Structure 1
Amino acid sequence: MIRLLCSKENGWYISEFKSGHNHPLFVTCGEKTHWKSHRHIDRYTKDLVKQLRDNNVGLGKVFSIVGSFFGSVENVPFTKRSLKTLCRKLNKDQSDSDAMKTMEILAYMKANDPDFNYTVQLDEDSRIKTLMWVTSRGCDQYRYFGDAITFDTTYRTNLYDMSFGLFVGVNNHFQSIIFGGVMMRDEKEESFKWVFQEFIRMVGGKHPQTILTDQARSMEIAIEAEMPNTVHRWCKWHVLKKVKESMGVLWSKNREFKMEFHKIVHHMTAEEEFEQGWQQMLDKYSLKKHPFLTQIYEVRHKWAKPYFMGVLCAKMTSTQRSESANHLLKGYVPPGCPMHLFLK
């Protein structure tokens, strides 16, 4: 045991020493990092960790990056557990007063973009139920290219597990353009009605000629109510994916059936030709009583190519553009992200 005291001249001197209290010193860094003194993270490293976490960098990568500043991971003067504790604290700090921070960001965006428009729907407890926005650029582009749009709500990477939907279209170069975005706590019929009503209001009242969505029944009812003159079509990719899942062995093992099915779906452009080919396929493979094929045939006007003739779709037959934009966000927005960071 050694005791140091401060002298009057602001120096140090040993006031006590007992050799009997000695024990072997730790040798490896792994042993040293369990001391309390190795749990401290300096403010510069904290700032670096905060920047990395704000940019969706995983905990393992954060530790590796921090290690590069100290020469190697073995030389990092704190444990990985200490880093996890810091990250948990950062997540908590970010989620505190989330609604207030969200409103501040919306106000900031409005100040820098006077034509930026947003609307908030609250529930009976005055909590945010739906949040929707349209930028001035999105509004301008909608005036020119808003005749055919897709809408998809598959993205759920945020703190409240809210669905995120994007209204997407294409410009004159067939590049994807985003018209507006919405965060929804539920996907009920009334919620979709509010979303479509507010979207049309914010983009100037013009209804699209065509809208492509997935097969959600609540969305279909809302479109019929709020956009009665808009042609509603289903994403063909979703329909074909379900065919693949429901056909089982016939799809995976029978190459001839798969080729015939693709020919009917992708290459037949006349309604009569499509219906005749479909019936022949059912007869040939004894599928007349197949429940899924019967179901999708009854709603063929929603997804089959011949029924798209004369309908402006701007070469879009699926919600892939909306889904791609949603997927792109995962590279920027960390899982469990609070609303204000997601919006930012």
Structure 2
Amino acid sequence: MSTMERALRSSSTRKTEHIFEPILGLVFDSREEAREFYNLYSWEVGFGVKLNNSRAGTKKNNKIDGDEEYRSMQEIVCQRSGYDPRVKSKTKRCGCPAKIQLLRTDDHGWYISSFVKNHNHPLSVTCGQKREWNSHKMIDQSTKDTIKYLRQNNVSLTRIHCILSSMFGSMGDVPWTKRSLRTVCDQITRDQMGDDIRKTMEIFKEMHAEDPGFQFSVDPSRKGRIKTLMWCSGRSQDQYACFGDVVTFDTTYCTNIYKMPFGLFVGVNNHFQTTIFAGVLMTRETTNSFEWVFREFLRLMGGKAPKTILTDQCKAMTTAIGIVMPDTYHLWCKWHVMKKIRESLGPLYTKNRKFRDDFWLVVNGMLTEDEFERGWNYLVTNYNLHNSGFMIRTYECRHKWAKPWAKDKYCARMSSTQRSESANFMLKRFVPRNSSMNHFVSQYNRLLFDRDREEDIAEDKTKQVCLRDL
């Protein structure tokens, strides 16, 4: 049990004024533990602390203490200690005598050999004043571990601050600023980036050990760098075998620190739930890159091509699908086709409800090609849209998205990007922005686990119930 834990446990029966008040002879395992103890005391009282004079060990005891030279004495003082009258610049130092002095124990720990309690300056009273001391802007290791855990689970900076505030009692009692919290989060991201590829490959090995059906594929560049990375679980392959007739593929989601587009192969199961077949990280969205993606996807899925695939309007993707899956019917997601309607048609769309009703009646309600043609001509003529670039482009590609041309194709009610958008929304719950590759893969795996649990629950609810004979 550490010194701080003992102080907290005995706080109800303490004889001192403060919980963490230094006592002569108090023992610590390390200098950092002693500094943290004195810093907690300084928060209670209303000042800040810093390391000051130290003394190296004698030649006989001049050992190496970690990576530092062995020290036999260390002073931890008030931040306003010391004063040089020759220095003309502004300073808060006033020669404050408050300090503790540490000496070595026989087992190379530390103990308090001297404690000067009194200060020669006013002490801070409010939490806002106390936070201005440098030592109280630092975040202790246990809190850093909590922050790291929360960030790994995609908890925002503001929410983390609120959670820590509740732990300390209120927002005003948190002994550091939001800026300090942001600095810690940035450091966590930098640490995750270190040796990123090796960490990612280790995660893949762990996933394969837990799931023998897990597979991944890498498309390397000539310099040995990763151009494209795809992976899928054994369960995803089984789901594709059953529900892979219709697939949506969307690369509009980008949530990693390398700004690599992330693609999701998504389908729908027998409970009409979103199911994820595979994920892919790409550095470039070219025809060659998409060819590799679709070929590898088919290979990982046992060579079975979907009957229908829905994508956005990417020309490179359209070309690649025609080469790799010539017998697959390719549709464009209606959401992507229509997403610029507001900015393209302006007030006509945003302020004219009659036009909106007429427009969506044509888009969603026409069942035959003849009905669609008449309805579209009505829109163009009645609202004077003959020169509208949006209407011209949308009409020219009608066979890729309009219901009359897709009605005889099996789409499993996925003719919009609802499924891809839904999967992207779910991914955002698990993966924070600017993630490293290894953290991205790890959190994606959590998303798969979440989807598997939802499917198991739905499967259990639909089991046949056997009634006992009465």
Normalising by the residue count of structure 2, what TM-score does the alignment of the two structures yield?
A: 0.67
Match of 2:141 in 1: 43
- Note the 1:31-180 alignment, pairs <5 A: 31-180=129-278
| Alpha-carbon distance in structure 2 between the residues aligned to 1:337 and 1:34 | 32
Counterpart code for 2:276: I
What SS is found at the alignment partner of 1:330?
A: helix
Unmatched 5+ residue regions in structure 1? none
Match of 2:331 among 209, 228, 233: 233
* 1:104 aligned partner, one-letter code: E
Indicate whether 1:25 and 2:123 are aligned. yes
What is the alpha-carbon distance in structure 1 between the residues aligned to residue 430 and residue 103 of structure 2? 55
User: Judging changes above 3 Å, is the alpha-carbon distance between structure 1 residues 44 and 142 closer, same or farther for their aligned structure 2 residues?
Assistant: same
Say how many residue pairs are matched: 341
Confirm or deny that 1:340 pairs with 2:438: yes
- Letter of the 1:329 counterpart: L
1:325 aligns with 2:398: no
Verify the 8 A CA contact 1:166 1:178 in the aligned structure 2. yes
CA contact (8 A) 1:152 1:165 kept: yes
Give the 3 Å change call, closer, same or farther, for CA 322–27 of structure 1 in structure 2: same
Distance 2:308 2:314 in 1: 17
Q: What corresponds to 2:371 in structure 1?
A: 273
Question: Pick from 330, 350, 362: which aligns with 1:264?
Answer: 362
Residues 164 and 7 (structure 1), Cα distance of their counterparts in 2 relative to 1, 3 Å cut:
closer
- Partner of residue 254 from structure 1, selected from 337, 352, 365: 352
Letter in 2 for 1:123: S
Deviation of the 1:253 alpha carbon: 3.6
Does residue 412 of structure 2 align to residue 314 of structure 1?
A: yes
What SS does the corresponding residue of 1:334 show, helix, strand or coil? coil
What is the rounded CA distance, in whole Å, between the counterparts of 2:395 and 2:208 in structure 1? 47
3-state DSSP of counterpart to 1:199: helix
CA deviations 1:247-299 (Å, max 9, x no partner) are: 22332343333333222221211112222332343333333333322222222
Residue pair 1:150, 1:321 contacting (<8 A) in 2 also: yes
Name the SS for the 2:330 alignment partner.
strand
CA distance in 2, matches of 1:261, 1:317: 18
**2:299 corresponds to:** 201
Letter in 2 for 1:160: Y
The CA deviation at 1:11 is 7.1
Query: C-alpha offsets along residues 35-90 of structure 1, whole Å, 9 cap, x if unaligned?
Result: 34324433322221221121122233323322333333433344444433332222
- Structure 1: which amino acid aligns with 2:391? L
Indicate if the aligned counterparts of 2:100 and 2:112 stay in contact, CA closer than 8 A: no
Structure number with the bigger relative contact order (C-alpha 8 A, sep ≥ 6) is 1
Paired position in structure 2 for 1:184: 282
Structure 1 counterpart of 2:222, one-letter code:
E
| Deviation of the 1:227 alpha carbon | 0.8
Is the contact between residue 213 and residue 318 of structure 1 (CA under 8 Å) also seen in structure 2? Answer: no
Greater C-alpha Rg: 2
Q: Counterpart of 1:285?
A: 383
Tell which deviates more after alignment, 314-323 or 194-203.
Answer: 314-323
1:96-137 CA distance string (max 9 Å, x none):
111110000011111111111110112233222211111111
| CA positional deviation for 1:302 | 0.4
How far is the alpha carbon of 1:7 from its aligned partner?
9.8
SS at match of 2:433: coil
- SS for the counterpart of 2:309 is strand
Q: Describe the superposition over 1:228-250 as per-residue Cα deviations: whole angstroms up to 9, x where unpaired.
A: 11110111122233334322233
| CA-based RMSD | 2.6
Q: Which amino acid aligns with 1:316?
A: M
SS of the counterpart of 2:305? Answer: coil
Amino acid at match of 1:69: M
The amino acid across from 2:355 in the alignment is F
Q: Is structure 2 residue 317 aligned with structure 1 residue 214?
A: no
Deviates more, 1:66-75 or 1:89-98: 66-75
Pair 34,221 (structure 1): closer, same or farther in 2 beyond 3 Å: same
Is the 8 Å Cα contact of residues 154 and 323 (structure 1) preserved in structure 2?
A: no
Partner SS, residue 340 of structure 2: helix
8 A Cα contact 2:274 2:422, kept in partner: no
